[in-house]
Chain A
Amino acid sequence: MSDAIMTPAAVAPSPIRTIAAKDIRDALRDRFVLIVTVFLGIAAVVALLTGAIALRNDVATYDAAKATLLALGKSAGEIKAPEFYPLRLLRGAIEQIEIIGAAISILIGYRAAASERGRQTLALMLTRPMRPWQFVAGKALAGIALLAGGLALVLGMLTAVLHLSSGVGLVPDDLLRIAIVWGVAVAYSACFFLVAFILTLHMRQISHALLAAFAVWLTLVLIAPQVGDTLDPDNQVAGGVFAQLQISKPDQTQIMKGFATFEALRNGIEEASVTKHFERFTFAVLGIKSTYTGMALWPVLVEMTSNLIWIVMTVLGLGALALALPLNPDRLAKA
């Protein structure tokens, strides 16, 4: 400090990038993100291997039946060979991302805001020559980048395990589908990150903010999709009520007209949950839902556009809310 007092000439060149870079370095050093990513990865791989074992059992059963038929001198064509779509094995892993991934995103969002309040560094940053929204943008960028990295690791690991365990290998179309699912999973996780971040930044008690974020998680991830499924008349019997009763499609439509209000309500509950949209989209793209198994990618994407729009609009809406809400000086420190 050899010269007299002077003030810097301009606004900091890129406070958003500076804050994001600091947060990423901080997160990697305290290993929390790494640990939860490994945890999610293990849960997802276990789910994948469970699916692979079930498929292997199906194949073994088929092989045994085929051998028996051949030994009896009959044609093996009388029994249907199990179809093998490797991406369908990702069902359990997608469900882990849907449930555990969302919970982890909440923890990361909570920590992003709580750590700044606890260290008094939020007040320090806001007295630097930058706008409050730049602070929010920097934190959100870092959080979403960490989620993207974590999900890339998990899906990368799943792809490798799938490739090795399936024995048939993955084609470029499969890889493209996994890449699309990764992008949508990042947007989906970002929704929960932003919910927790906004609540922790703006609620007086940060512990209450965490509870509120998990209440949102419980409602959107567990309750709403389950309520929607449970209330579906066709889900009341395994294989579907209509199928079991052998009711034709026109009759099904006629019967369902009598439940129009009920169906609107049931569907509304499902539609309110971003988790359901994520599930519908990913299950369709990966061919997990039988309607879309073996279907070309583009028609699936076209059909799933509304689900994608819902997810994107949710994350953009939450992002806009985070940027627009004014920071309360009472919330600069931990309470």
Chain B
Amino acid sequence: MSDPIIMTDKLTQSFDGVRAVDSLTLEIAKGEVFGFLGHNGAGKTTTVQMLTTLAKPASGTARVAGHDIRTDPLSVRRSIGYVPENVRLYDTQTATENLLFFARLSGVEAPQARVAEVLDLLDCTYLAHQRVGGFSKGMRQRVGLAQAILHRPSVLFLDEPTSGLDPMGIKMLRDLIIRLNIEFGMTIFMNTHLISEIAKTCTSIAVLSHGKLVFHDRIEAVTARYGDDAALEELYLSLTPVGRLAGAAA
């Protein structure tokens, strides 16, 4: 593995006495597209919240792009982009105004030029002067992605990026993710439920179940061992409680 850009060491978070993330130790290499799988409530979003400095861990630590999330959160924030699930942005403002706002917050120099550049990169120039309130889910997701890459982050966190998108929207987003990864070397950390997307997009995957890491490997190794998407799904289900329950019932 090349230099890890994300390292977690016994990262733990609890809510009301329940461990949402339980001693998560993980390394993700620079330039990976990392797929983070898990059932609802497995702790994926909590992990992303800790890695993006939105939440402080109860114990353990993590480094993102070389910066400690506990002791140097500002440096972490300068190095990351984040797209939460179902981001809506500001309805009364145009795509450009929304992006200018986040560019200024990110300390981007010459924000006007950068916004135009990013809109062009994402083939969204035609949306520039339209108010976000009138956008479809797919359009919003692209502008949401645009705000996350304005400051050229080295790590991009995507929380369920394909949630609610139609097949065309999913394909466009997948192509964008791959492009950002290949052309700009961004490391992508993606929470998702879609096994098919994992196989098409990711270079490594991990599975979280009840806050514990139960699987982590490179995608080539997984596909070599388990074959096609259906086999990958079998693997995922065998690792999660819902899947084990279904297996027992069968």
Binding site for B on A (CB under 8 A): 1-13, 15, 18-19, 22, 25-26, 29-30, 118-121, 123-131, 329-330, 332-333
Q: Are A1 and B105 in contact (CB under 8 A)?
A: no
Q: Are A13 and B107 in contact (CB under 8 A)?
A: yes
Q: How far is the CB of B147 from chain A (nearest CB, A)?
A: 7
Chain B residues near A13 (CB, 8 Å)?
A: 104, 107
Contact pick for B49, options A4, A19, A119, A329, CB 8 Å:
A329
A120 and B152 in contact, given A26-B93, A125-B105, A128-B106 (Cβ under 8 angstroms): no
**Tally of contact residues, B, Cβ under 8 A:** 46
Contact pick for A12, options B54, B89, B105, B152, CB 8 Å:
B105
B154 at the binding interface (Cβ < 8 Å): yes
Other A-B contacts than A119-B91, A129-B77, A131-B74, 15 sampled, CB-CB below 8 A, are A3-B152, A4-B185, A5-B152, A6-B152, A10-B107, A15-B104, A18-B105, A19-B105, A121-B88, A121-B89, A123-B84, A124-B84, A124-B102, A128-B106, A130-B74
Q: Can you name the residue of chain A whose Cβ is closest to the Cβ of B186?
A: A5
Chain A residues near B91 (CB, 8 Å)?
A: 119
Contact pick for B52, options A7, A10, A12, A127, CB 8 Å:
A127
B90 at the binding interface (Cβ < 8 Å): yes
Contact pick for A22, options B80, B85, B90, B152, CB 8 Å:
B90
Chain A residues near B52 (CB, 8 Å)?
A: 127
A10 to B75, CA, bound (A): 9
At the interface, is chain B mostly helix, strand, loop or mixed? loop
At the interface, is chain A mostly helix, strand, loop or mixed? loop
Q: How far is the CB of B125 from chain A (nearest CB, A)?
A: 14
Q: How far is the CB of A29 from chain B (nearest CB, A)?
A: 4
Task: Give the residue among B49, B84, B153 with the most A Cβ atoms within 10 A.
Answer: B84
Q: Are B185 and A5 in contact (CB under 8 A)?
A: yes
B78 at the binding interface (Cβ < 8 Å): yes
Chain A residues near B153 (CB, 8 Å)?
A: 5, 7
Chain B residues near A118 (CB, 8 Å)?
A: 88
Q: Are B106 and A8 in contact (CB under 8 A)?
A: yes
A-B contact pairs, 28 of them (CB 8 A): A1-B118, A1-B152, A5-B152, A5-B154, A7-B79, A8-B78, A8-B108, A8-B151, A11-B107, A12-B104, A12-B105, A29-B93, A119-B88, A119-B90, A120-B87, A123-B82, A124-B84, A124-B102, A124-B147, A127-B53, A127-B54, A127-B80, A128-B77, A128-B102, A128-B106, A129-B107, A329-B49, A332-B54
